[in-house]
Amino acid sequence: MDTTATVIEKRPLTDVTTLLVVRAPLVARNAAPGQFVILRVSETGERVPISITDFDREAGTITIVVQNVGRTSALICALEVGEEILDFAGPLGAPVELPDRGHAVLIGGGFGAGAIYPLARELEARGVRVSAIVGARTAGLVILSDLLGPACDEYHVCTDDGSLGYHGLVTGRLEELLAEGAGYTSCFAVGPMPMMRAVAEATARWHLPALVSLDPLMIDGTGMCGGCRVSVGGETKFACVDGPFFPADAVDFDEVTDRKAMYAEDERVSCELAEAEVTV
Amino acid sequence: MPIVYPHKTEMPSRDPQERRSSWDEVALGYTEEQAVVEARRCLQCQDPLCEEGCPVNVPIREFIRLVALRRFDEAARTIRRRNLLPAICGRVCPVEHQCESRCVLAHDGQEPVAIGRLERFVADWERAHGGTPSLVHPVRRAEKVAIVGSGPAGLTAASDLAQRGYQVTVLEALHAFGGVLRYGIPEYRLPKAIVDQDVENLKAMGVEFARDVIVGKTVTIDQLLRGLGFAAVFVGTGAGQPVFLNVPGENLKGVYSANEFLTRVNLMHAHAFPEYDTPVRRPRRAAVIGAGDTAMDAVRCSIRLGAEEAHIVYRRSEEEKGARAEDYRRAVEEGAIFDWLTLPTRFIGDADGWVKAVECIRTELGEPDESGRRRPVPVPGSEFVLEADLVVIALGTRPNPLVPQATEGLAVDGHGCIVADTETGGTSRDGVFAGGDITTGAATVILAMGAGRRAATAIDEYLREKASLVSTAAERTGNIGL
Ligand SMILES: Cc1cc2nc3c(=O)[nH]c(=O)nc-3n(C[C@H](O)[C@H](O)[C@H](O)COP(=O)(O)OP(=O)(O)OC[C@H]3O[C@@H](n4cnc5c(N)ncnc54)[C@H](O)[C@@H]3O)c2cc1C
Ligand SMILES: Cc1cc2nc3c(=O)[nH]c(=O)nc-3n(C[C@H](O)[C@H](O)[C@H](O)COP(=O)(O)OP(=O)(O)OC[C@H]3O[C@@H](n4cnc5c(N)ncnc54)[C@H](O)[C@@H]3O)c2cc1C
Ligand code: SF4
Ligand code: SF4
Ligand code: FES
């Protein structure tokens, strides 16, 4: 059985974000919107979860967008075309449940601007009206407009510094659009935790049903360790098998945010080590 | 005449103080002299009851006879007739509940023959003297068989089917093979080099190993049986889903399931951070909830990670503990503290969300419950607080639902275990067999191996029958054509 995964295309999107197209036929065949993969890039390395930004079952490819935030993500971003990825397991997680009608608004921040693309593609195929709101700190960090823009009926960009599109946070724009009578019937968000929390608050105000993708620390990704557990509606769920998408209004954001910071000190050590290796 | 010593020959082991900071194997194994002395304790019973106590019926009397005669290579071959992984079983079998519990010496006021230690000795001797000849069956069969999960059940089924000439592929969700032997049982108890070598032996026999394949996600059982051309599937996915206590504070930082804690250490080598990238909490005071094998592994790992104090917190008494006698003794030697009759009621966090203590209440044992063990009843007013900056919850595991959820028509029972015939492993789906912890709930290595072996036999029969049906059908069609 061919479980190899080879980088066939690489595109730096910003200074800190890289897009990789990976030939991994076994993973691509069953992939569905909302799922992720787990990568390991060295024999001493961690297993890190990364969302599937695009998949092509025929071509047997998976596209991922990786933000360089630490040791392993730096190693992934440094992979070159033709290189084989040591471990590339997936597709993991439950496919997100998408509606068959109405007007869906997709919200993406950071790598989330890529991760919402498979949702847009599927919604469009189902004939659902799709709007996307994408946020970044500044114009230079807005990614994948070329991919996502054409897949949506409406495409809105927001920047924190106002250098492109709406000046402010994605939720500011969301509420503005809702106030203008956009008539969204569902919302899906992928991005940094503070953004998801803000989306949860905003959509609650407007009684708009929303699902957010949680990204707790993970190891196996198969429901075996419970390290990815999150509290949703007072119940413990394993984000790797029950999620990653959960109803925004039921998520205990304080807990997810806190648990994610569990190894902050170790991560710093790891990064310093990686930098030292690079400078040697 | 056997020489009668009332006690087992001691097995050399590392000094407990040194062990507290070392991941090297604790038990060092018998020398040839010690093995021979121990083997001579065996009475060579007419009716060796010990063999009935072994779930795979290792020819115990015969292999021990050969050890006493120093015919170690023959002893190894004798064990291998029934047990594919003797170096592993000799180390991890709960012998006091299995073979050794039935030894006549044990019923005669003495200690039983140290069957487990002798099995380990023979297997290690064999490895040290050139290893195992791989037994490839010359007949190649056309059918491909998929084995899902590379724990002891899967490895055994793979080996037996390969020996029968089938083309076998083992599909494993993780990036390394061995199941609990890899991610659960620590290095100091079962060196991973042994698991590696057993996997290498299977590769040499022609078994194909594919990692990172999560059956139910990457491929489904139906895809294996249809598009991918496998004629039968064996499911040995284990009981890998952790159970939590469901008390307040369980999601504080520093609270782990035993599976997570042990996986970080064993599979990901977190004890060697930052050389390895995966971190784990370095405790000062650890509290492990539970008293089975898993709890002993967790408490001993926490000591090795630097805990000055490491507690076992268990709601019943010492008598009801599930752990193997040897591991319990080793944990005591290494300084673990045992809080029997103690029930955790809540985890208390500090201002930064880290666990800092476990609130407990003392219990006393009341009437027996469904499990037949006496039910622990909290004693009012006995609450107290146990300081701990690492908590590991080792309350057992449930079958992982991934495969059943993704396989239509595969029947499971109320506990989520796949329903399988105990003799054949046959399930409610044609061509799908199952065995090991996924069918029984958490059990033992040797029981999983036994189930893998029986299923291999049943799969062989199933495929032969199918082949002969096809050929008779072909003949019949031919006749009608005439
Ligand atoms: C379901 C899921 C999908 C994800 N999809 C993507 C994706 O498409 N693209 C992408 O770039 N990242 C994604 N992430 C996050 C990614 O897994 C982490 O960024 C990665 O593990 C960091 O590893 P590191 O060794 O580089 O950094 P570390 O040195 O381990 O950590 C550096 C920083 O990253 C943060 N971090 C560490 N682990 C995670 C984590 N699991 N999630 C979020 N932040 C983390 C730390 O808090 C720290 O601030 C996803 C996470 C999950 C759980
Ligand atoms: C910490 C610990 C200590 C133990 N100590 C002892 C001991 O000392 N002695 C003893 O006899 N028993 C012990 N046990 C119990 C023993 O390890 C198990 O009973 C035995 O391993 C079960 O074997 P198995 O093959 O059924 O499953 P497992 O060993 O659990 O292996 C199952 C494998 O299947 C893989 N898998 C799961 N789902 C999928 C999927 N969907 N697709 C592909 N692969 C999948 C898993 O990753 C795993 O590798 C211990 C258990 C634990 C957890
Ligand atoms: S396999 Fe286990 S139970 Fe059987 S004889 Fe060996 S040690 Fe005893
Ligand atoms: S029961 Fe004990 S004494 Fe008898 S054959 Fe078995 S090991 Fe030897
Ligand atoms: S990552 Fe281990 S259970 Fe989810």
Please check whether residue A266 touches B, CB under 8 A.
Answer: yes
Residue B219 confidence (pLDDT) above 60: yes
Tally of residues, chain B: 482
Residue A224 and residue B242: Cβ atoms within 8 Å? Answer: yes
Shortest Cα distance from B54 to chain A (angstroms)?
A: 29
Shortest Cα distance from A202 to chain B (angstroms)?
A: 26
Task: Decide: A92 in ligand 5 pocket, CB within 6 A.
Answer: no
Q: How far apart are CA B399 and CA B403, in angstroms?
A: 10
pLDDT at B130: 81
Please check whether residue A276 touches B, CB under 8 A.
Answer: no
Alpha-helical (H) ranges within B81-183 are 86-92, 99-102, 115-128, 152-163, 180-183
Give percent of chain B with pLDDT exceeding 90: 79
Q: Could you report the per-residue pLDDT of B163-205, keeping only the tens digit for each?
A: 899 999 999 999 999 999 999 999 999 999 999 999 998 998 8
pLDDT at B481: 41
Average pLDDT over residues A75-85: 94
User: Of the given ranges (B67-76, B77-86, B134-143, B239-248), which has the lowest mean pLDDT?
Assistant: B134-143
Please list, residue by residue across B61-95, b when 16 or more beta carbons sit within 10 angstroms of its beta carbon and e when fewer do.
Answer: bbbbbbbbeeebebbbbbbbebbbbbbbbbbbbbb
pLDDT at B473: 67
Give percent of chain A with pLDDT exceeding 70: 99
Q: Could you report the per-residue pLDDT of B410-439, keeping only the tens digit for each?
A: 999 999 999 999 999 999 999 999 999 999
Coil, strand or helix at B171 = strand
Q: Write the Ramachandran bin of A41: left for phi over 0, alpha for psi from -120 to 50, otherwise beta.
A: alpha
Which residue from A87, A226, A266 is facing B244, i.e. has the nearest CB?
A226
Greatest Cα pair distance, chain A, in angstroms, is 58
Q: Could you report the per-residue pLDDT of A135-165, keeping only the tens digit for each?
A: 999 998 999 889 999 999 999 999 999 999 8
Mean of pLDDT over chain A: 93
User: Distance, CA A238 to ligand 5 centroid (Å)?
Assistant: 6
Residue B138 confidence (pLDDT) above 80: no
CA-based nearest residue to A135, from A159, A99, A111 = A159
CA angle at B264 for the pair B263 and B267, rounded to the nearest 5°: 55
**Tokens standing for residue B308:** 């000055």
Residue A256 confidence (pLDDT) above 70: yes
Q: Could you report the per-residue pLDDT of A106-135, keeping only the tens digit for each?
A: 999 988 999 999 999 999 999 999 999 999
Average pLDDT over residues A62-75: 92
Report ipTM for this prediction: 0.94
Q: Write the Ramachandran bin of B481: left for phi over 0, alpha for psi from -120 to 50, otherwise beta.
A: alpha
Q: How far apart are CA B1 and CA A275, in angstroms?
A: 69
**Tokens standing for residue B310:** 């490491």
pLDDT at A250: 96
Q: DSSP code of B26?
A: S
User: Of the given ranges (A265-269, B65-69, B205-209, B340-344), which has the lowest mean pLDDT?
Assistant: A265-269
Coil, strand or helix at B476 = helix
pLDDT at B476: 63
Interface of A with B in 134-163 (CB under 8 A): none
Coil, strand or helix at B261 = helix
Q: How far apart are CA B390 and CA B313, in angstroms?
A: 13
Shortest Cα distance from A174 to chain B (angstroms)?
A: 32
CA-based nearest residue to B117, from B132, B135, B96 = B96
Average pLDDT over residues A9-13: 94
The CA–CA distances, whole Å, from A5 to A2, A37, A60, A117 equal 9, 12, 10, 22
